[in-house]
Amino acid sequence: MTDDLSVTLSRGLPETVLPPPPQEWTEALSDALAKSGPARQAAVSAVARQHPRFLEAWATLAELADDDVQSYAYARVGYHRGLDALRAAGWRGSGYVRWRHQPNQGFLRSLEALRRASESIGETEEEERCALFLHQLDPERRR
């Protein structure tokens, strides 16, 4: 007697790739980054204000911030917006979100900025959680 049983073997954890942002958003950010001095940060802030779901804008603001608390705040917004975007893309709290996929980089940059800012303001536990999460999301990426 033979049973026709199908067996599906998993390849491991699933991988999530965020959808790319609209070209208009990336062009606006590129134009903002072409500015210099204080005008640059103000222009990037205007992009985030106009496109609050644009993860690259939040990551960039965190990286351009004048102080650690400001960086922490921008990075936290990018991180939480990124979690929302990941869930909308099918991520269920586990699996890979790899750096090699450009649309994931805004989220990962925000998470790395949150790690750095947490370390700078003495939030050791959060810094460690962020470092672990970054490693779990993309164990092959070197920081």
How would residue 74 be classed by pLDDT, with cut points 50, 70 and 90? very high
Task: For residue 65, give the amino acid letter.
Answer: A
Q: Mean of the per-residue pLDDT values for the chain? A: 93
At residue 141, the pLDDT reads 82
Task: Annotate the chain with three-state secondary structure.
Answer: CCCCCCCCCCCCCCECCCCCCCHHHHHHHHHHHCCCCHHHHHHHHHHHHHCCCCHHHHHHHHHHCCCHHHHHHHHHHHHHHHHHHHHHCCCCCCCECCCCCHHHHHHHHHHHHHHHHHHHCCCHHHHHHHHHHHHHHCCCCCC
As a whole number, mean pLDDT of residues 114-135 equals: 98
At residue 142, the pLDDT reads 72
pTM over 0.85: yes
Q: Where are the domains of the chain?
A: 23-137
At residue 45, the pLDDT reads 98
- Distance (Å, whole) CA 86 – CA 34: 29
At residue 12, the pLDDT reads 76
Radius of gyration of the chain (CA): 18
At residue 143, the pLDDT reads 60
- Distance (Å, whole) CA 124 – CA 115: 9
